[in-house]
Structure 1
C-alpha cells in the first residue's frame, strides 16, 4: 500500500492544477483522450522498468545500474538528466509555496504594516525549506508513506472543491464557451502536450519503490503501476473536466486562481502548498542518488581525486541502498553518512537559493519537462527494455523488445516537438 501511495504522490502534484487548461487547449474530448493516452504510455514505461529491474542484482535496481549494463558510456548522462529534472521540480514546489501562501494569509488575516513580512514570498519559501529539511534527510523513501498520505488527502480536498463548485454553484452567467471536439488551433495542442506528459512523470522513483517491495514479483509490480496510473488519470480527468466545464475557455493554467476568495478556496490553496512541500522529498531522494552516481562516475573515471575510497564498478549502488544503508566508508558501493549529508545539504540549499532568485519557473519547467521528463518516462525505459529483454527474449516476450524501441522513438519525437515549441515561444 505504501508503494502505491508514494507513486501516486509522485505523479499527482502541481500538474493537476493545469488539467482544465489542458482541456481548454485541446477541446474536452481530445483533452481527455490525451490524458488517458499519456497515462497509458507512462504506465507502459513503468511496466518496462519493472521488468528490467529483474536484470539487476536483487534490490539493487537503479537507472545507473541498468545504464552501466547496457550503455556504460552514457550512464552518467542518464543520471544527470534525472538530477536536473528532479531538482527543477523541487524548486518549482518551493516557488508554488511562495506564490500561494501570501495570498492565503492576505485573504484570511489581512496583516498590518508591522507584519507584512508574512505575506512575502521570501518568508514562505524559507518556511517551506524548514519543513522539507528533516524529510529530505530521511534515508528510506518508505518513511515518507505517512506524509505522502497527507499530501494525497490535500489532493482529495482540491478535487472535492473543483467538483462541488461545478455541481452546486451558479456558473451559467460566468462560463465562457466550451469546445467539445475541435481545438481552436493545432499549435494549442502541441504547446500544451508537454504539460500532460510532465504530469505523469514519476519514473525517477520507480526503481526505489520496486527495491522496497516486500514481495518483489512481476504481479505485485504490475499491480502497483496499474493502480497508481489509473487513480492518477482518474483524478486528472475529473478535475480537468469539471474545472473546464465550470469556466469554459477562460480557464487559466491554475484552476484554483479562478475561484472567488472564500474560506474553502483559501483552504484549497493552503492544501496545494502543503501538498507540494510534502512532495519535495520525493524529488530530493532520486536527485541525491543520481548526483552521487554522477560523482562516482567522475571519480572512477579519474576526473575526481577523492581522499575516500574509490567506488567499485563491480557492485553498483542503488537508489534504495543509498537511502537505507549508512556505512563507515569501508564498504564499496554505498553512500557514506557524511556524503549523504553533504549531497542532501547541497540540494536543499541550491533549491532555496534558486527559488528566491527566480520568481517564475514556468519556462524553465517547460524545458525540463520536454527533456528530463521525456527521457525518464519514455526514452530510458524503452532503451533498457530493447537492450535487456531483447538479449534473451523468448518468442512470447519478443514484442516487449520492439515495444520498448517504439516507446523510445516516441519519447524522442515528443522531446523534439516539445523542445521546439518551447524555443519558438521563447523567441
Structure 2
C-alpha cells in the first residue's frame, strides 16, 4: 500500500482505496442479496450458477478454484522466503544448522500446521486462528505507525507526493494491489450459510464493518508508511526498517498471518473443485427456472450442491494440499502467474460474478424472483396489518384504507430500489470487465519491460 500511494500520490491513492472498498463492498452486498433467493445454508457460486447460467457454472467454479489455489501457493512461498530471515534475526548471524535457513525446510515444517486446519469443514472452526492472524496484522500496523511517529526513517526519506502522481503507467501498475486487497468474496457465501442471524440488516452490517475496517487499516498504513520513506519506499516496508527485534517480530507476524490465511483459501477452493467435478451440461430447457420441471437437487428457491462425503472431502483436500506443497517447493516466484490469475480470478469473484448473478436472478421475468417478491410483499402486508391493529382485532374500513395506501407506497418504493439495484449490479459487472482488461494489459507491459 505505501508503494502504491507513492505512485498515485496521497490524495489520489486514498480516493482509490475508498473507491475500491466501495465497489468490493457492493459486490459482497449483492452476494448477500443473491443468497435470499436460495434456501438457508445452501448459498454458493454453484447454486447461483444453476439458477442463472447453468452451462457456464464449470467456468465460474474453475476460475475460483484456480484463483484460491494460486493465492494459497503464494502464502507458502512467502513463508519459505521470510522464515530464514526470521531465524537469523532472532539468533544473530548464521544459525548452527544450515537447514534453519533453507526455505524448503520451513515450507515443510509449516505444512504440518496448515494440514489439520485445512481439513476443517466449517469456517467457524477457524475463528481462533483468524484472531491470531488479526493480532499479527495489528502488530504490523503498530510497527509502521510507531516508526512514523518515531521519525527514525527520515534520513532515508525521498520526495513526497501529495497531489501529483508518478504518471499513468506506474499508477496503473499499482491499481491491482489496491483493488485486489479487498478480495474476500470467495468466503462470503460460507459466512452467510454459517452466520446465526442472516437477516438483511445483519449481513449488511457485517459487510460494512469488514470493508470499513479494512479500508481504514489500508489508509493508515499507506499514509504513515509512505511518509516514513517517501518515494524511496519499497514493496515490503517491513524489510526496510533497521534490523532488530521488533522488525524480526514483524516478519514473523507476516508468516503467522499468511499461515492462518491458507485454510481460508483452501475452503472455497475445495468447494469449487467439488462443483467442477460434479458439473454436467444441462439441456437448454432445464437451465430455465421458468421450466415446470425441477432438478433433483433443487430446493424450494434454488439449487444446491449435495453435501460432500467424508471420502470425497478428504481426497479433494489432500489433492489441493499436495499440489500446493509441490508447487511451493519447486517454484520460488509465481509473480507472473499470480498476476494473471489475480487479474482474472479476483476480478471475476469480486465484481463480474456478483453483478451478473444478481442481474440475472432478479429479472422480473424470473419465477424465482417473482416468488421471492411475493413472499416479501406478503410479509410486509402482515407487518402493516399488525401495526394498524387497534388491539381489539377490529380493523374497520377507516383503518383498512390507509393500510392499503401505505402498502402500495411501500411496494412502489421497494420496486424502485430493486430496479436501481439491478442496474447498479450490471454496472458493477461492466466495471469488473474494465478492471480485468486494464490489469491484464498492465501486467503484460510490466512483464515485457522486465
TM-score of the two chains, using structure 1 as the length reference = 0.87
383, 390, 396: which is aligned to 2:356?
383
- Which residue in the other structure is 1:369 paired with? 342
1:197 Cα deviation (Å)? 1.2
> Using the alignment, how far apart are the partners of 1:313 and 1:50 within structure 2?
24
Is 1:350 the counterpart of 2:332 in the alignment? no
CA–CA separation in structure 1 for the residues paired with 2:347 and 2:104: 32
Asked if 1 retains the 8 angstrom alpha-carbon contact of 2:86 and 2:252, the reply is: yes
Q: In structure 1, what is the equivalent of residue 442 of structure 2?
A: 421
- Distance (Å, rounded) in 2 between the aligned partners of 1:426 and 1:169: 35
Give yes or no for contact 1:367–1:422 (8 Å, CA) kept in 2: yes
Question: What is the match of residue 188 of structure 2?
Answer: 206
CA shift, 1:21, in A, is 0.8
Residues 82 and 251, structure 2, Cα contact 8 Å, conserved in 1 = yes
2: CA distance, partners of 1:299 / 1:352: 33
Q: In 2, Cα distance between the equivalents of 1:239 and 1:137? A: 34
- Aligned counterpart, 1:183: 165
Distance 1:155 1:170 in 2: 22
Q: C-alpha root-mean-square deviation of aligned residues, in Å?
A: 1.9
**Cα–Cα, structure 1 residues 44 and 112, in superposed 2: closer, same or farther, change >3 Å?**
closer
**Higher mean Cα deviation, 187-196 or 393-402?**
393-402
The 1:345–1:300 alpha-carbon spacing in structure 2 relative to 1, beyond 3 Å, is farther
Number of residue pairs matched by the alignment: 387
State the distance in 2 between where 1:226 and 1:103 align.
37
4+ residue runs over 6 A deviation: none
CA displacement at 1:172 relative to structure 2: 2.8
Partner of 1:333: 306
2:197 match: secondary structure: coil
- Seen in structure 2, the aligned counterparts of structure 1 residues 277 and 134 have a Cα distance that, compared at 3 Å, is same
The structural deviation recorded for 1:114 is: 5.0
Aligned in 2, Cα 1:67/1:170: closer, same or farther, shift over 3 Å? same
SS in structure 1 at match of 2:363: helix
**Partner SS for 1:390:** coil
Distance in 1 between residues matched to 2:271 and 2:441, nearest whole Å = 30
Gap regions ≥5 residues in structure 1: 1-18, 302-311, 323-331
Kept after mapping to 2: 8 A contact 1:390/1:398 = no
What is the rounded CA distance, in whole Å, between the counterparts of 1:410 and 1:34 in structure 2?
14
Report 1:115-194 matches (<5 A).
115-194=97-176
Say whether the 8 Å CA contact 1:45–1:378 is kept in structure 2.
Answer: yes
Match of 1:103 in 2: 85
Alpha-carbon spacing, 1:316–1:134, altered in 2? closer, same or farther (3 Å): farther
Counterparts of 1:5-404 in structure 2 under 5 Å? Answer: 19-110=1-92, 114-298=96-280, 314-315=296-297, 333-391=306-364, 392=369, 394-404=415-425
CA deviation vs aligned residue, 1:311-354 (integer Å, no higher than 9, x gap): x953269xxxx9xxxxxxxxx82211001000000001111111
The 2-side partners of 1:337 and 1:379 are apart by 33
Q: CA deviation at 1:407?
A: 0.1
How far 1:390 sits from its partner (Å)?
A: 3.0
| Whole-Å separation in 2 of the counterparts to 1:113 and 1:104 | 11
Confirm or deny: 8 A CA contact 1:204 1:376 kept in the other structure: yes
Once residues 96 and 417 of structure 2 are traced to their aligned partners in structure 1, the CA distance between those partners, rounded to angstroms, is 71
Kindly indicate whether the alpha-carbon contact (under 8 Å) linking 2:76 and 2:107 is maintained by their aligned counterparts in 1: yes
Cα distance in 2 between the residues matched to 1:40 and 1:100: 33
Q: Show CA shifts across 1:76-95 (max 9, x none).
A: 11000110110011011111
- CA separation in 2, counterparts of 1:167 and 1:114? 37
- For residues 111 and 96 of structure 2, the distance between their equivalents in structure 1, rounded to whole angstroms, comes to 24
Q: How far apart are 1:111 and its partner, in Å? A: 6.5
> 2: distance between equivalents of 1:342 and 1:51?
33
Structure 2: stretches of 5+ with no match in the other structure? 284-293, 374-414
SS, match of residue 397 in structure 1: helix
Q: Tell me if structure 2 keeps the 8 A contact 1:316–1:333.
A: no
CA displacement at 1:173 relative to structure 2? 2.0
- Measure the CA separation in 1 of the matches of 2:416 and 2:152: 59
The whole-number CA distance in structure 1 between the counterparts of 2:108 and 2:282 is: 37
| Superposition TM-score, scaled by structure 2 size | 0.83
